[in-house]
Structure 1
C-alpha cells in the first residue's frame, strides 16, 4: 500500500521576508559606504602627501633663488667656495623644478596639476633666464679666480714698488741728481698708484671698468718704459740714465718686482671682458632672483590653495561615515523588530501545536488497545503529517497481522512434512558415514605408498646433484688444464723467440770476431813489415824491431783467441738451432695436448648437461611424488572432515526434527499473539 500524499500550499509573503529584504539592502548600503569611505580616505591621504611635497618643493625654490643670487655675487667677487655653493644650489633648483614639472618616480609624486599651469610657466621663464646667467658664471670659474689671484698679487707688489721708488727719490735727492730724474721718479710713484686703482676698478666691474682696463694697460706700459730709461737711458721719452750706484741697485730690485706686473698686463686685458660678462650675469641674477622669488611664492600659494580646496572631499568622507553609522542603526532597529515579531509568532504557533497534539492523542487511544479499525484525522497542523504517518502504519500493521495469521497456518502444515524428511535424512547420513570410513582406510594405505616413492625419488635427486657437481668440477679442471697449456705454449713461444734472438746475436758476434781476425792478420803483416824495416835500419832500428816482435806476438794471440771465440759461437749457434727446433716441437705437442683437453672439456660439458637434465627429471619426479603425498594427505584429511560432517549431519538431522517441533509450537504461539488485534471485516464480494 502506498503512503497517501498531503497537499502543502506555499506560504505567502510575510513580514519576515520584507524585514530580510530591508536588512539586505541596509547591509549593501553599509558595505558600499565603508568602501567609499576608505577609498575617499586613501585619496585624501595621497593628495595630502602630494600637496605637502608640492608646497615643500615650491618653498625650497624660493630659498634656492636667493641662495643662487648670494652665491653668484660672491663668485663674481672671486670667492672659490662660492662657485661650489652656486653649482650645488643651481643643481638642487633644477632637480626640484623637474619634480614639479615631470613628477618624482621614487616617491610617486605626479607632475604639477593643470590648475597651476600659469604659475609654473612664469617660474619656468624666470628660471631659464637665471639658469643661463648662472651657467655663464660657472663656466668662467677658472678665469675669475685666476684674475682675482693676479689682482691680489698686484695689490701686494705695487706697494712694494712704491716703497722702493720712494727710496730711489731719497737717494737721488741726497746725491744731487738732476731735477728731471727726481721728477720722473716721483711720477713713477703716481703711476704705480694709478695701476693699482685701475686693477681694483676692473675687478669692481662698474661702468668705468672698461676705461680702467685701458688705463691699466697704458700706465703699466708707461711705467715699464720709464723704468728701462732710468736704468739705461731713453732720449725718446726724455729720461736720462741714473748714475748713482745705490739708486741703480734699487731700480734693479724694482725691475724684478715689475716683471710680474708686466706679465699680468696681457692676462688682465684679455680676461677683463669675460670678467665684465660675469659681473653682468651676477647683476642679472640679482634682479631676476627677486622676480623668481615672487613667482615661486605665487606657485607655493597656488599649491596651498589647492590643498585647502580639498575640504569638499573631506566633507564627502564625513557624509559617508554618517551614512554607514545610520545604516548600522537601521539594521539594529530592523533586527530588533523582526526578533520581537518572530517571538510572538513562535508563541502562537506553539499554542496551536499543543492543541493539535492533544487531539491526536485522543484519537490514538483506541489504537493502543489493539483496535486496528481506527483512522486518525489528518489536519493542516504540523500533526497532520504525523496523523498521515500513523494511518499509513496502521494500514501496514493490518496487512502484517493478516499475513502472520496466514503464514502461521502454512508453517503448521509444512512442519509435519519437514519432520518426516528429517527422519529419512538421519538414516541416510548414518549409511554415508560407514562408506566414508572405509574410503578413508584405503586413502591411508595409498598415502604410505606414495611417501615411500617420494623418499626414493629424493635420494635419487641427491645422487644426481652429486653427479652434476662432479662433472662440473671435472669441467673446471679441464678448463684450468687448457689455460695452463696455453700459458706453457705462450712461454715456450716467447722462449723460442728469445733463443732465436740469441742465435742472431751470436751471428753478429761471429761477424765481429771475423773482423777482429782480419785486423789481427793485418796487424801481423804490419809487424812483419816493421821487423823487415827495422833489420834494414841496422843498429838504429833495433829498438823498433823489439816493438814489432811484441806487436806480432800480440797479433798471433789475438788471432788464436778469435779462432777460439769463433768455435764457441758456432757451438752456441748449433745449440740455439737445436733448442729452437725442440721448442717448436714442444709447442706443437702442447697445442695437440690443449686440443685433446678441449675435446675432453666438451665431453665433460655434455656429461654435465646430461647429468643436469637427469637431476632435473629426478627433482620433477620427487616434486610430483611429494605433491601426490600432499594431495593424498589432503584427501585423507578431507575424508575425515567429510566423515565428521556426516556425523554432524546425522546429529543435525535429529536436532532439525526437534527444531521443527519447536517451530510448530512457535507458530501456534504467534497465532495466539496476534489474536488480540481487531481487524476490519473483509469486504463482501459484489
Structure 2
C-alpha cells in the first residue's frame, strides 16, 4: 500500500501519525485531569458540608450543656450558650441547606429534615418546659425530673445518630472522590508512558519502512541500470508497478530495457524476413499451379450448378403457378363456407331469442301457478271455516230440537193437568194444545234444517277434498313448470354455446380465407422469385465463363512475371 503512495505524501503521513498519537495522549490526559479537578472540587464541597454538620452538632451540644448547667445551678447566666447555640444551629442549618441544594442528595436532605424535626420537638416539648419550670420555685423539681428520666437525652441521641450517618455518607463521598483522583492520575501516567512508547515505536517503524521503501529500491535500481548498460538484458527491473517516484524511475528504466530488446529483435526480424521472402516466391509459384487446377475444377462445378439452378427455378415457377390456382379455388370454397357459417350463426341467434322468450313465458306460468296454489289454499281455508260454521249451526239446531221436545213434554203434562181440572182447565188445555202443536212444528222444522245442514256439510267436505286435490295438481304443475324452466335454461345455455362456437367457426373461416389469400400472394411472390432465380442462374453461367477466361489470363500474367 505504501509503495503506491508518493514520497511527497509518505513523509507528511508519518508525521501526521505521530501527531495523532500525541494528540490522543493529550486528549486522554486532559480528560483525566478534568476528572481529578472535579474530584478535588467534590472533596472541598464535602469538607465544607462536614464542617457545617460538625457546627450543627456542636450547637446542639452547647444547648444541651447549657440546659444541664441551668438545671444544676439554677443560675440563668448558664442559658447564654443555649441562646448562642440556637443561633449557631440556625446558621449551620442555612449553610447545610445550601450545600444540600448544590449536591442534590435526597438521602442527606431527608436526614437533615429529620434532625430539624427532632430539634424542634426537643425544644418545644423538653427544653422550653425545663426553662419555664426553673423559673418558679415549686416547679424546679419537675424540670430536674424531666432531665433525670432522660427525656431530652433521647432527642439529642437521635439527632447525634443522624448527624453521624450524614458524616459517614459525606466521608464515603470523600473516599470515592479520592479513589477517582488516584485512578485518573494512574490512567494519566499510564497513557503518557504508553503513548510515548507508542509514538517512539511508530516513529522507528515508519523510519524503517521509509528506508526500505525508498533507499533500498533506489540502490537495487542503480545496480540494475549498471548491469543493463553492460548488456545484461535478463535483469529484472525492481519496483516496477509502484505509483510513487521510485516507480516512475523504474518505468523509465524498463522502457530503456524494452527498447534495447526491441532493436535487437527488429534486426533479427529483418534477416528472417529476407529469408521468408525468398521462400515465399517459391511458394507462390507452387500455389499458382495449384490454384489454376482448383479454379478450373471449381468453375466447371459452378457451371454445372448454374444449369441445375435453372432447372430448379423453372420447376419452382411451375409449382408457384399451380399453387396460385389451387389457392384461388380454396379461397372461393372458404368464402362459401364463411357465408354458410354466418347463416348458421344468424339461425342460432334467432333460436336463442326464441328460447329466451319461452323461458320468460315458462317463468310467468310458474308465477301464475304459484299464485293459483296460494288462492286454492285460501279457498280451502274459507270452506273449512264454512264447514265449522255449519257444524256450529247443527249444534244450535240440536239444542232447539231438545227445547222443542221439552216443550212438547210440558204441553203434554199441561194437557193432562187440564183434563184433571175439568172445565176450569179447558182454556189452559187449548193453550197447551197450541204449544204442543208449535213444538211439533219446531221439531219438524229443525229436522228439515238439520237435514239441510247435513247436506251442506257433506257438500262442504266434498268441496274441501276437491280444493285439496286442485292444490295438489297446481303444486304438481308448479314442479313440472320448474323442471321445464330448468330444461329451457339448459337449452338456452346450449344454444348460447352453439352460437359462440358458430361465431368461432365463422372467425376461423374468415381467417382461413385470409390465410388462403396470403398463400396465394406468397405463391405469386414465389413465382416471381423463381423467375428471378432463373434469370440469376443464367447470368451466373455467363459470369462463370467470363471468370474462367479472366483466371486463365491472370495465371498467364503471373507466370510471365
Q: Classify the TM-score, shorter chain.
A: 0.5 to 0.7
Name the residue aligned to 1:149. Answer: 124
Q: 1:647 aligns with which of 531, 535, 552?
A: 535
Cα deviation digits, residues 559-613 of structure 1 (max 9, x gap): 9xx9999999999887666555545445555656666777788788888888888
Deviates most, 652-661 or 636-645:
652-661
User: Following the alignment from structure 1 to structure 2, what is the Cα–Cα distance between the partners of residues 498 and 292?
Assistant: 104
- Superposed, 1:129-140 pairs within 5 Å as none
Q: CA deviation at 1:274?
A: 1.2
Residue number in structure 1 paired with 2:51: 66
Question: More deviation in 616-625 or 631-640?
Answer: 616-625
Q: Which runs of structure 2 are paired with 1:503-518 in the superposition (5 Å)?
A: 503-510=383-390
Contact kept? 2:376, 2:470, Cα under 8 Å: no
Work out the CA distance in 1 between the residues paired with 2:458 and 2:225: 147
1:411 is aligned to: 291
Q: Structure 1 residues 404, 469: closer, same or farther in 2, change over 3 A? A: farther
1:472 equivalent in structure 2: 352
Task: Determine the structure 2 residue equivalent to 1:447.
Answer: 327
Retained in 1: the 8 A contact 2:349–2:499?
no
What does residue 51 of structure 1 align with? Answer: 36
For structure 2, which runs of at least 5 residues remain unmatched after alignment? 64-85, 234-256, 408-441
Say if 1:507 and 1:573, in contact at 8 Å, map to a contact too: yes
- Per-residue CA distance 1:520-576 (angstroms, 9 max, x = gap): 99999999xxxxxxxxxxxxxxxxxxxxxxxxxxxx9xx9xx999999999988766
Q: 1:304 to 1:632 in 2, by over 3 A?
A: closer
**1:112-134 CA distance string (max 9 Å, x none):** xxxxxxxxxxxxxxxxxxx9xx9
Whether 1:384 and 2:359 are equivalent positions in the alignment is no
1:627-666 to 2 correspondences below 5 Å:
627=515, 630-663=518-551
CA spacing shift, 1:323–1:428, aligned 2, 3 Å: closer
Written as runs of structure 1 = structure 2, the 5 A alignment for 1:170-249 is: 192-193=135-136, 216-217=143-144
Is structure 2 residue 403 aligned with structure 1 residue 490? no
Does the 8 A contact of 1:489 with 1:591 survive in 2?
no
Q: CA deviation at 1:485?
A: 3.4
CA change 1:570–1:443 in 2 (3 A) is same
TM-score (norm: length of structure 2): 0.58
Preserved contact between residue 14 and residue 206 of structure 2 (Cα < 8 Å): no
Relative distance call for 1:400 and 1:352 in structure 2 (3 A) is farther
From the superposition, tell whether residues 404 and 513 of structure 1 become closer, same or farther in structure 2 (CA, over 3 Å). Answer: farther
Q: Using a 3 Å threshold, how does the CA distance of structure 1 residues 663 and 501 change in structure 2: closer, same or farther?
A: farther
For the 8 Å contact 1:464–1:612, the answer to whether it is kept is no
Deviations 1:607-664 (A, max 9, x none): 8888888887787777667655544543443232122112112223323433454455
Q: Is the 8 A contact 2:29 2:191 kept in 1?
A: yes
- CA drift at 1:69: 1.0
Residue 480 of structure 1 and its aligned partner are, at CA, apart by 3.6
Residue 314 of structure 1: aligned partner: 192
- Count of residue correspondences: 471
1:270-297 residue CA offsets vs partner (Å, 9 max, x unmatched): 6223145358769x969x98x9999999
* Alpha-carbon distance, 1:47 to partner: 3.9
Closer, same or farther: CA 446–86 of 1 in aligned 2, 3 Å: same
CA distance in 1 between counterparts of 2:404 and 2:340 reads 94
Q: CA deviation at 1:313?
A: 5.1
Pair 276,566 (structure 1): closer, same or farther in 2 beyond 3 Å: same
Distance 1:322 1:621, change over 3 A: closer
From the superposition, tell whether residues 525 and 390 of structure 1 become closer, same or farther in structure 2 (CA, over 3 Å). Answer: farther
C-alpha contact 1:62 1:292 (8 A) present in aligned 2: no
Instruction: Note the aligned Cα RMSD (angstroms).
Output: 6.5
| Alpha-carbon distance, 1:149 to partner | 1.8
SS at match of 2:122: helix
What's the CA shift for 1:66? 0.8
Rate the CA distance shift 1:600–1:87 in 2: closer, same or farther, 3 A.
closer
Q: State the Cα distance separating 1:448 from its structure 2 match.
A: 2.0
CA distance 1:28–1:435, change in 2 (3 Å): closer
Q: For the structure 1 residues 391 and 73, does the alpha-carbon distance in structure 2 shift closer, same or farther, using more than 3 Å as the test?
A: same
Query: Greater helix percent: which structure?
Result: 2
